[in-house]
Amino acid sequence: MLKRLVAFMVFASGGTVSGLSEAQAPTRPIEKPVIERAPVPVRIAAVANAPAAGIVAGSGLLSLKRELGLSFKIGGVLASYSVDIGDRVEEGKVLAALDQREIEARAKEAEAALARAEIEYKRAKELVARGAVSQARLDDAKAARDQARARRDVVVFDKSYSQLVAPAEGIVLTRPAAVGEIVQPGQTVLSVGDRTSGLILTVALSDRDVARINVGDTARVTFATRPDGIDGKVARIAGKADPLTGAFDVEIVLTDGGQGLLSGMIGHAEITPTPAPGPQSLLSVPVESVLEGDGEQGSVFVIDPANRVATRRAVRVVSLRGPDVVLSGGLAVGETVATAGAAYLSDGDSVTIVRDGDLLPDPQ
């Protein structure tokens, strides 16, 4: 019996020792297989200067800088026009007139009232000198005479504005009223453009574009009749946006006078903003190279020509110009960016460059 117990203890002890030795034995880490990503096929393009990147473009209507709406000070019947639309007029020329019969009648009435007041004043003055009436009577007569004289002066002034006279050398633009029509005071019956004031093109620009230009910036303006273009200059920038469109009106003065152009023509202007002080770099890349656009922020993949590795680079978008994007900062002229295939890249990926015209294979 004792021998069996000893044998059992030895067996149990040996099993225990053996189990501990196996548990304490060192284990090897499991190695995961390394899967290398195949190079991503992409096309590339060189980063270029954008000499025209700063151009701000817009279209608008041409007009004379000084266009006047002419109206009568008083109402009445429009008796005549001496000019028609498109006529050129000289300063001081009579352009239109009211029927004078009513104004003449008012003038005669005012003169008669003044004459009567003058007689009353003279009589009161003689009576006061004889002591027949008080000084108050003379004061009243004098006030009545002064009022009658003032009413006469008003009628004379109104009569002088019963004819419309050209305020400057110009051209008749519109003639909205008709002869025989009863017109009200202040109603426009003629509009005349001052030819000496110069021509302006008014274009509407977005807040993003208007923030890039300043008064004095140069512009090139083209018209259907002047495709060769005319030089211009920014003369005025609206201080407030149009509440309906949200656009800002910008006036461009044509520096050569705009010979052969007429008010109302549509022109297209390209404004070159004055470069901001300090260094700046406006660059151009194909539009498909810019990824993750968010407002002015975006990124591109720069391709290292030596090892053909893609590196993500943040850039600032200035504007779109045809098939290209204008960028500011983040890149340098001569660097290479991925274009077609850039959407499949991750930072640090290897690339295979596909020539233009070759079929771009699907990335694996």
Q: Determine the pLDDT at residue 49.
A: 77
**Are residues 147 and 117 in contact, defined by beta-carbon separation less than 8 angstroms?**
yes
Same domain, 89 and 108: no
Q: Is residue 118 part of a domain?
A: yes
Q: Is residue 30 part of a domain?
A: no
Could you tell me the CATH number of the domain that includes residue 148?
1.10.287.470
Structural domain count of the chain: 4
Instruction: Say how far apart CA 141 and CA 123 lie, in whole Å.
Output: 9
Length of the chain equals 364
Q: Is residue 4 part of a domain?
A: no
Same domain, 176 and 92: yes
Helix (DSSP H) and strand (DSSP E) numbers for the chain: 4, 24
Same domain, 306 and 229: no
Q: Which is it for the CA torsion 331, 332, 336, 339, positive or negative?
A: positive
272, 304, 335: which is the final residue of a domain? 272
Over the chain (364 residues), the average pLDDT of each successive run of 10 is 41 44 54 66 85 77 90 92 91 92 91 92 87 86 92 90 88 92 93 86 90 90 90 93 92 83 91 66 84 80 89 85 80 88 86 71 56
Same domain, 123 and 155: yes
Which burial class, exposed, middle or buried, applies to 227 when counting CB atoms under 10 A from its CB (0-12, 13-18, 19+)? exposed
Which burial class, exposed, middle or buried, applies to 264 when counting CB atoms under 10 A from its CB (0-12, 13-18, 19+)? exposed
**Residues spanned by the domain of 132:** 100-160
Pull the structure tokens for residue 256. Answer: 């050569």
Q: Determine the pLDDT at residue 21.
A: 46
Q: Determine the pLDDT at residue 184.
A: 94
230, 249, 272: which is the final residue of a domain? 272
Q: Determine the pLDDT at residue 13.
A: 46
Instruction: Say how far apart CA 77 and CA 97 lie, in whole Å.
Output: 9
> What's this model's pTM, rounded to 2 decimal places?
0.51
140, 160, 180: which is the final residue of a domain? 160
Q: Determine the pLDDT at residue 93.
A: 92
Q: Determine the pLDDT at residue 138.
A: 86
Q: Determine the pLDDT at residue 9.
A: 41
Q: Is residue 29 part of a domain?
A: no
Q: Determine the pLDDT at residue 70.
A: 93
CA distances from 69 to 167, 174, 286 (A): 11, 9, 50
Q: Determine the pLDDT at residue 51.
A: 57
Q: Is residue 185 part of a domain?
A: yes
Q: Is residue 14 part of a domain?
A: no
Same domain, 183 and 87: yes
Instruction: Say how far apart CA 95 and CA 72 lie, in whole Å.
Output: 12
Could you tell me the CATH number of the domain that includes residue 286?
2.40.420.20
Could you tell me the CATH number of the domain that includes residue 268?
2.40.30.170
Same domain, 111 and 150: yes
Instruction: Say how far apart CA 215 and CA 213 lie, in whole Å.
Output: 7
Same domain, 258 and 320: no
Q: Is residue 107 part of a domain?
A: yes
Could you tell me the CATH number of the domain that includes residue 177?
2.40.50.100
Same domain, 92 and 169: yes
Q: Is residue 12 part of a domain?
A: no
Same domain, 339 and 294: yes
